[in-house]
Structure 1
Amino acid sequence: MSLAAVAAIFAVALVIVNHNKKGERPPLPPGPPPLPIVGNVSGIDLGAPWLSYAKWGRLYGDLVYTRFFSQVIIIVNSEKVAKDLLDRRSHNYSDRPFLPTIAPFGLGFNTVLFRYGPLWRFHRRLFHQALRPQAALAYRPMQMQKGFQLLKGILETPENYVDHLHLHSGSIIMSAVYNYEAEDGDDPFLRLIQRAVDIVIEDVRPELSSILGAFPILLNVFNLPSWVPGIRLNKRAAESRECVRQWVEKPFQYTEETMAAGTATPSLVSNALRKIEGEDQSGEVRQVIKDVAATAFAAGAETTNSTLRAFILAMVLYPEVQERAQKLIDSVVGSERLPNFDDRSSMPYLEAILRETLRWHPTFPLSLPHAPVDDDIYNGYLIPKGAMIIPNVWAMSHDESVYPNSHEFIPERFLDSNGDLTDDTAQYAFGFGRRNCVGRYVADASLWSAIALMLATFKFAKVKDNDGNDINFEVKWSAGITSHPLPFPLTITPRVPGMDATMLDQLISATNCQI
């Protein structure tokens, strides 16, 4: 009886101690009042949740706590806080939250979605070898040639400029990764991969993962026959898995075949395979190279394409910016050739346009979620282990204290009083910490070359009515993991009256002589 009494007293004491410890825990960040079961979801604009989160930031602060079913979500609305946590404490914030949608949609290969650990670090090393700043310089001649192809496509069929941007963005990545030359028009590889990317962008969102995480039984929907009425998600997931399978396998197989034939030229895949030739008996490293290559396309093509579409929209809406940039190009480059990378340092205003495009409407308005490995405390608030940390890049890029009149496209905000570039490079557009975009140097060069070449060659303008007046339109943006402007009316005309394919070829030839 005495032992039982002691045990009982010890148990009560332990409960009291634990209760006191819980009471000592710092509070969670403030946030909107929750609804029963579902959490703090009232009033969220599902088409543009970054706008709702930014509004919450103005009410509750730079760190906002929310909960969607059982998933704790911390919204980071400040670049300073994002750097404090994700950069300076990257040892704790380099993980990704568990996303139940990864396996059903066939995305287990994707480095970007990996949990932090040895396999992710191995992938990252391969990326770094192929895409680090020094290595990125080797892609510049190819990027210029792809830029010339973009000009030719727009000149021939300006009404199909969106298709030309898709081809341009995708062909650069395919060339760099697989040394595959995409066909003009409807390339089969690009069509296949783009279909998979479109499904992922639309359907694999954090809110869906939160629902599936709270109700795992719903995962059984992916095991039901696709003919069951109303099983849309199952059909989409099955289509995604098949597209992803071919996306991972077919371009890689193409590179292996060219290597066997002795016709392969340097690329991410061929370089990596040559380094392990005769050493990878298990095939594990070969699989890693295959997965890294497939990830590179998804990470690069969509972001470049979306950013260039936003740039064209800005030129249509802000003709004074376009005119100033074109005058600068004329003064530096002249009219006998097109701009190249050697001209970049002489045209800071073009650099400011690129940075403003990244800021004005980030392709990843909410970036990708991080997850802390351990509990953390920041400014007196608890950030619990395993929470989904979402950097609201849109809120950072529209912080009025940093960017006055943030909804306006003003490249001058990146120039000082002397016309030189400021230290602000809008790097939040490429993520944070150890999970930032490893291909940002290649992406930066692709964006700059396309912007410079298009500005040198074409004028982008609003459509005019019969009286010669501009026809205004409402700007709409796509919803999903990434965001780009939806189709809008515009005219694209050569800056040189009467320019045809022959004249453009002459400009390209003169430019090639200086590359």
Structure 2
Amino acid sequence: MFPLSSLEHVSSSVLSHVNISAVIVFLLVYYLVRFYQKQRDLSNIPPGPKPWPVVGNFGGFLIPSFIKTSFGQLAESTDSMKSIMFTLTDQANVYGNVYSLFVGSQLIVVLNGYEVVKDALSNHPEVFSDRPDVPSVTILTKRKGIVFAPYGPIWRKQRKFCHTILRNFGLGKLSFEPCILQGLATVKTELLRLNEECGGSGVNLAPLIRNTVSNVICSMILGQRFHHTDHEFHTLLGLMDRGLEICVNSPAILINMCSLLYYLPFGVFKELRRVERDITVFLKRIIAKHRETLDPENPRDLVDMYLMEMLAQQAAGEEDSSFTEDYLFYIVGDLFIAGTDTTTNSVLWTLLYMVLYPDIQDKVQAEIDEVVGRQRVPSLTDRGSLPFTEATIMEVQRLTVVVPLSIPHMASKTTEFRGYTIPKGTVILANLWSVHRDPTLWDDPDSFIPSRFLDDEGNLLRKEYFIPFGIGRRVCMGEQLAKMELFLTVTSLLQAFKFRLPEGTPPPTLHGRFGLTLAPCPYSVCVSPRS
């Protein structure tokens, strides 16, 4: 006979398992009932593929690419990234240029084509300028800053202030040109050194380009530059890259379906928390140093100006002011990451296309030689005299679209759009890829043809449906700075060097890899001085 206590323990254990199973079954049934009830309530939404229970359309064509990426199969995941862009664009042929998808129970409306994207973001800005509460993003940004903060009076006030201050420090002005050229001089010297050391195996351009681009934004917002050998700064840039990659191309994407996963004590979830902590320590230390050394008579950068505005509002008794050190931290993080990632990848894409299309590289260099020569570095004043060079840069931007789905928008209220009902809280994806690959707007849209941006006399053509920086009130605040950096970096490097693939190296794929932006897959080049 078993002791009574043992029987009670077995009975208790069985009941415990039964209770857990009952709870799981109850929750599953409850979720399914709610899911199908919500489907019935979403009347007149744009058409789209039928969602699966629980996972929505995430289980259709997104999960296969997610699985490949999670297992680190880079080549396959980059192919999957491009297939996702083509799939999202091709769905418009089935359901129209405005169609619906579901991630879990979250409704997503995808906008395809220039007219639809422009109509939503430019003609209905009060409705479609908000940002969604995406758990993986919200956990990291607390819905503050410039890029990911919700649309409203606080965002407008913060963005206007930052834009004004950055313009005062040279944003989009010729006066900022020396700061950009200073970093490029270092890049040229380092390229020669690394090229000699590699022995023909090629140089990875990414670290050098990322460093010089990030130093430009550092000069404006932090008032300092970091040497390319600075270990802490190099580590910070690596952390930012890794954090963005984890959020998009790893199992951490599941945080968006269950936010509690962020706190799991292992794997990429633990790594994401470490990345966030290390970036926070670095940026908050810089802000604290600015506060301790602040001289109101001689502001050095955006951080100083922000601290002065914060103190002024405190002195005026504005207790509910949004100008706080906490908000400043998220602004600095936004500007630092966005100002580095997009421009860096645009430069890397352009140089990659120059390697893969040496005839175009030769033609760009011939134009630079004719207009600028070899005795001085290119200047922003040369832009109007280098139409083929400008057209080449624009064609690379058209084909690569470094932010192919823009930063997600959200409907701030229920509205009627193009005959459909868009419920409040719907995530809006503006498919810029579809705009730049639209065969009704571009002849042979998948081919690299810089001359499409030139008229019959060789003058530059600016087309309204060329929108690599987005459109509407959420258009990239650093657009002018990015254009300056991209032009000066590409022209300076092509004036000085000939770029080619290492001997015997197969051409790298043009599919790219997705983080915050669409970046080229890692590649190396051999550098030959032209002088």
What's the TM-score bracket when you normalise by the shorter of the two chains?
Answer: 0.7 to 0.9
TM-superposed deviation, 1:23: 10
Task: Please give the secondary structure, in 1, of the residue aligned with 2:147.
Answer: helix
Q: Which stretch shifts more, 274-283 or 321-330? A: 274-283
Q: What is the aligned partner in structure 2 of residue 182 from structure 1?
A: 226
Could you tell me how far apart the structure 2 residues matched to 1:222 and 1:443 are? 33
TM-superposed deviation, 1:326: 0.7
Q: Is 2:82 the partner of 1:64?
A: no
Task: Please give the secondary structure, in 1, of the residue aligned with 2:99.
Answer: strand
Could you tell me how far apart the structure 2 residues matched to 1:255 and 1:425 are? 42
One-letter amino acid of the structure 2 residue matched with residue 378 of structure 1:
F
Q: What is the aligned partner in structure 2 of residue 14 from structure 1?
A: none
Structure 1 segment 133-212 matched on structure 2, within 5 A? 135-137=171-173, 138-158=175-195, 159-204=203-248, 212=255
1:233-257 Cα deviation digits (max 9, x unpaired):
4303311330231243123234445
Q: What is the aligned partner in structure 2 of residue 34 from structure 1?
A: 51
TM-superposed deviation, 1:265: 6.4
Q: Is 2:270 the partner of 1:235?
A: yes
**Segments ≥4 residues shifted beyond 6 Å:** 22-26, 205-209
Match of 2:284 among 249, 272, 276: 249
TM-superposed deviation, 1:190: 4.5
Answer whether contact 2:409 2:428 (CA < 8 A) is retained.
yes
TM-superposed deviation, 1:150: 2.0
Answer whether contact 2:249 2:514 (CA < 8 A) is retained.
no
Match of 1:302 among 334, 341, 346: 341
Q: Is 2:72 the partner of 1:55?
A: no
Answer whether contact 1:169 1:304 (CA < 8 A) is retained.
yes
Give the TM-score normalised by the residue count of structure 1: 0.82
Relative to structure 1, the CA distance from residue 382 to residue 442 in structure 2 (aligned partners, 3 Å threshold; closer, same or farther) is: same
Give the TM-score normalised by the residue count of structure 2: 0.79
1:69-110 Cα deviation digits (max 9, x unpaired):
101011112121111001110011111111112344355444
Could you tell me how far apart the structure 1 residues matched to 2:509 and 2:45 are? 40
TM-superposed deviation, 1:304: 0.9
Q: What is the aligned partner in structure 2 of residue 267 from structure 1?
A: 301
Match of 1:111 among 117, 135, 146: 146
Could you tell me how far apart the structure 2 residues matched to 1:102 and 1:475 are? 28
Q: Is 2:359 the partner of 1:320?
A: yes
Q: What is the aligned partner in structure 2 of residue 89 from structure 1?
A: 124
Could you tell me how far apart the structure 2 residues matched to 1:43 and 1:101 are? 21
Could you tell me how far apart the structure 1 residues matched to 2:336 and 2:425 are? 29
Could you tell me how far apart the structure 2 residues matched to 1:114 and 1:289 are? 12
Q: What is the aligned partner in structure 1 of residue 76 from structure 2?
A: none
Relative to structure 1, the CA distance from residue 310 to residue 117 in structure 2 (aligned partners, 3 Å threshold; closer, same or farther) is: same
Q: What is the aligned partner in structure 1 of residue 468 from structure 2?
A: 429
Relative to structure 1, the CA distance from residue 436 to residue 205 in structure 2 (aligned partners, 3 Å threshold; closer, same or farther) is: farther
Relative to structure 1, the CA distance from residue 24 to residue 34 in structure 2 (aligned partners, 3 Å threshold; closer, same or farther) is: closer
CA RMSD of superposed structures (Å): 2.9
Q: Is 2:262 the partner of 1:222?
A: yes
Q: Which runs of 5+ in 2 are unaligned?
A: 1-38, 67-79, 196-202
Relative to structure 1, the CA distance from residue 88 to residue 383 in structure 2 (aligned partners, 3 Å threshold; closer, same or farther) is: same
Could you tell me how far apart the structure 2 residues matched to 1:342 and 1:328 are? 15
Q: Which runs of 5+ in 1 are unaligned?
A: 1-21, 497-515
1:475-509 Cα deviation digits (max 9, x unpaired):
4521333221112343221112xxxxxxxxxxxxx
Answer whether contact 2:172 2:481 (CA < 8 A) is retained.
yes
Q: Is 2:441 the partner of 1:389?
A: no
Report how many aligned residue pairs link the two structures.
461
Could you tell me how far apart the structure 2 residues matched to 1:306 and 1:462 are? 18
Could you tell me how far apart the structure 1 residues matched to 2:343 and 2:373 are? 27
Answer whether contact 1:328 1:347 (CA < 8 A) is retained.
yes
